[in-house]
Structures are given as C-alpha cells and as structure tokens.
Amino acid sequence: MPKPNNALHKLTELIAINEELIPLKKLADRELASIYGLTGTVYTPHIDAYMQVSIKKAEILACLKRQGILAISEVELITTALDALYKNVKNQAIVEYEGRRYERRFLPLKLSKSGKNVQKWAKFWLLLTSEEKVEPNWDRQVKEIWPSYFLIRKVDI
C-alpha cells in the first residue's frame, strides 16, 4: 500500500482521477503491445504516465478508506487474513480459504545496486477460478490497490 499522506482526499478527486486514467490506459496498452518482444531501453511515456496516475489513485483510495468514506475491499480483507494464516508460504503456492482457492505471488520490488539481488519483494494473493486461472476482477482490484507492485522497470542491456 502507498505511504500514508497527511492530506485528506475527497470522492470528487477519485472520480476525476478515474476519468484521467481511461485514455491513459488505452495509450499504455497500445504502447505495451507495440514493444512486446523488444529488448533494451524503451521509451514508454504513456505507460509511465498511466502508472503515475494509478499510484496517485491508490493513494486517494487508501486515504478515503482510512477516513471511512469508502469501505475496505474484499481483496484487502482476504489478503490480510491469508497473510496472517500463511506467513511462510512460497511463491505460486495454492491455499484454500473459505472454500475458494488462492495463489501466493511474489514480484521483485527493490533490487540491489548491481541489480543481481532482490532486497524487497511485493507479496500478494490472487483468487483462482475453477479452471485454475486468475479471476480477472480480483486481478484488476489487486493492481488498483497496489499499482507500485506492477511498475514496468526499465532495464539497460
């Protein structure tokens, strides 16, 4: 979750940022599709702009939830419960909770200066469907709540 900010937010800010995200998402998706398969440093202004607005939206959502204006989502509640129950579970481990199956995922969040070692991991849970695929709505909510976990990092080759 993003670092708490002392400034309080309003629902109108959330509505405004959602409207700002719609065209950026389309441009970012098109840009990502056009660079698929390329290597090296790639200039991605639309993806970068989309990610920055997504992070700002996550901060506003977190603030509104702390104020009690918005309810804490099912994703956050279940994630907290699963984190407490399964502290030492490994990447891609599947557990059952309240009759539903969840998969633990880890992504590198912070690398060492050399880029060879991971200093901090992003940890999250994904809900699986009966076909063992990730439930799309759950995945969307995870990416909305914790967008910094999914930043596209530039790598010099």
C-alpha closest to that of 101 among 121, 80, 131, 71 = 131
How high is the pLDDT of residue 44? 65
Beta carbons within 10 angstroms of residue 147's beta carbon = 20
Distance CA(72)–CA(3), nearest Å, equals: 17
How high is the pLDDT of residue 96? 95
* Tokens found for residue 36: 């698929």
* Tokens found for residue 22: 């719609």
How high is the pLDDT of residue 157? 29
The one-digit pLDDT tens for each residue of the chain (157 residues) are 455 667 788 889 888 988 888 888 888 877 776 665 554 455 667 777 888 888 889 889 889 999 999 999 999 999 999 999 999 999 999 999 999 999 999 988 887 777 788 888 889 999 999 999 999 999 999 988 888 887 755 333 2
CB-side exposure of 127: number of CA atoms within 13 Å?
A: 19
Locate all alpha helices (DSSP H) within the chain, ordered by sequence.
11-35, 45-67, 74-85, 136-145
